[in-house]
């Protein structure tokens, strides 16, 4: 079945449809992970995005319910070079094709994903429209539609993916509040494995209510969008600084940076994949880490603040983490909970536990 992807710069990528049919728009981004496509599909950080997988074969181990990052798909569409129709995995319950059909998400295969990725690397993330199956496949009309699509920046995407109710995962010697901006389930597992009771609260929970729960520490989760579009979260976190140990992850890291007085910016094409080298500047060690973000902290804006860069991306030198000089504040741009194969970066949770125990800053 014919399908087409049109970018706002006028570039057209024809291919074959799989999954659902119809027309969908979104911000076109690429992910360099060789595996983890199921986690990408269900990652709230991908809200509003058409995700291009650079690895040429997607779906070879199928879809397994136990491996969901969240309970539903968050990507707008999926673009691949080749989709596997016959997975080889004793755990899988369905194919990527059937999963996308069931979730009404369009897939596009047969695309030259190398050429598409090179274009996004050269000219940056851009808006696009996918038309699959029945519908208007007029290329120029789709390009014009892509040009007129709204930008994701300026929208509060958190409210569309975050919980509206409090959830409590009982047990553990320490109580941790997880301020959920679109958290993956593995953050909860990582904290429970470290003897923590986890209380998940909605993103608009006030600082007063969070402190009233008397937590031993607070984690700010990852999530979608521009942190500037969530001023309520920045204000809440600003009121929490210095009151309890804080750990920021991905979007939570950016919100924490804004709350401390730093500035953020939109990256040209972002970091998305499970194979980004990050150096811990405190120890000199390099870790292979999982990323899914399009914004970063402007390092020059940190110079007059009481924080320092603790982690740096070795591909482009961007800030991947910071710590406060005096307060129990630890923050990383990558996902220590993602565990894309190597589990090295999970030590970030151990540092957070040490902070709660009074052993760290």
Mean pLDDT over residues 219-237, rounded? Answer: 97
243-254 tens-digit pLDDT: 999 999 999 999
Q: What is the mean pLDDT of the chain?
A: 94
Average pLDDT over residues 306-319: 98
State the CB neighbour count (10 A cutoff) for residue 49.
28
Q: Is 250 a catalytic residue?
A: yes
- Tell me the CA end-to-end span of the chain in Å, nearest whole number: 58
The bridge status of strand 246-249 relative to strand 196-201 is unpaired
CATH architecture of 158-356: 3-Layer(aba) Sandwich (3.40)
Question: Which residue is catalytic, options 45, 197, 250, 324?
Answer: 250
Q: Name the band, by pLDDT with cuts 50, 70 and 90, for residue 359.
A: low
Rounded to 10 degrees, the C-alpha dihedral 197/202/207/208 comes to -80
Active site residue 151: no
> Which of 8, 39, 197, 337 is labelled catalytic?
337
What's the fold here for domain 2-147?
Glucose Oxidase; domain 1 (3.50.30)
d(C-alpha 151, C-alpha 163), whole Å: 24
Q: Is 359 a catalytic residue?
A: no
Domains 2-147 and 158-356 share a fold: no
pLDDT tens, position by position, 119-171: 999 999 999 999 998 666 789 999 999 999 999 999 999 999 999 999 999 98
Domain boundaries, the chain: 2-147, 158-356
The residue length of the chain stands at 361
């Amino acid at each position: 079945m014919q399908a087409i992807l049109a970018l706002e710069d006028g570039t057209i990528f024809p291919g074959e449809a799989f999954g659902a049919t119809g027309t969908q728009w979104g911000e076109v981004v690429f992910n360099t992970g060789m595996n983890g496509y199921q986690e990408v599909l269900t990652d709230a950080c991908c809200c509003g995005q058409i995700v291009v997988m650079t690895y040429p074969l997607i779906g070879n181990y199928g879809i397994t319910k136990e491996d969901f990052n969240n309970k539903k798909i968050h990507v707008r569409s999926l673009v691949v070079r080749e989709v596997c129709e016959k997975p080889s995995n004793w755990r899988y319950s369905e194919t990527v094709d059937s999963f996308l059909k069931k979730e009404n998400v369009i897939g596009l295969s047969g695309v030259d994903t190398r050429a598409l990725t090179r274009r996004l690397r050269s000219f940056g993330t851009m808006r696009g429209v996918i038309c699959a199956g029945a519908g208007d496949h007029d290329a120029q009309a789709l390009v014009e539609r892509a040009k007129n699509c709204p930008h994701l920046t300026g929208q509060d995407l958190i409210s569309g993916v975050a919980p509206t109710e409090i959830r409590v995962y009982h047990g553990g010697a320490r109580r941790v509040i997880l301020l959920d901006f679109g958290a993956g389930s593995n953050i909860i597992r990582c904290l429970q494995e470290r003897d923590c009771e986890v209380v998940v609260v909605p993103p608009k929970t006030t600082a007063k209510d969070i402190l009233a729960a008397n937590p031993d520490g607070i984690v700010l989760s990852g999530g979608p969008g521009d942190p500037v579009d969530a001023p309520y979260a920045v204000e809440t976190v600003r009121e929490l600084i210095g009151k309890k140990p804080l750990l920021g992850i991905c979007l939570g890291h950016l919100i924490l940076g804004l709350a401390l007085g730093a500035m953020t910016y939109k990256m040209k094409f972002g970091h998305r994949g499970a194979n980004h080298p990050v150096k811990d500047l405190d120890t000199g060690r390099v870790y292979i880490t999982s990323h899914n973000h399009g914004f970063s902290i402007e390092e020059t804006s940190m110079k007059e603040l009481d924080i320092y860069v603790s982690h740096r991306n070795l591909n482009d030198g961007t800030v991947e983490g910071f710590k406060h000089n005096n307060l129990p504040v630890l923050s990383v741009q990558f996902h220590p909970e993602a565990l894309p194969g190597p589990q090295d970066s999970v030590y970030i949770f151990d540092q957070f536990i040490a902070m709660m125990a009074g052993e760290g800053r």
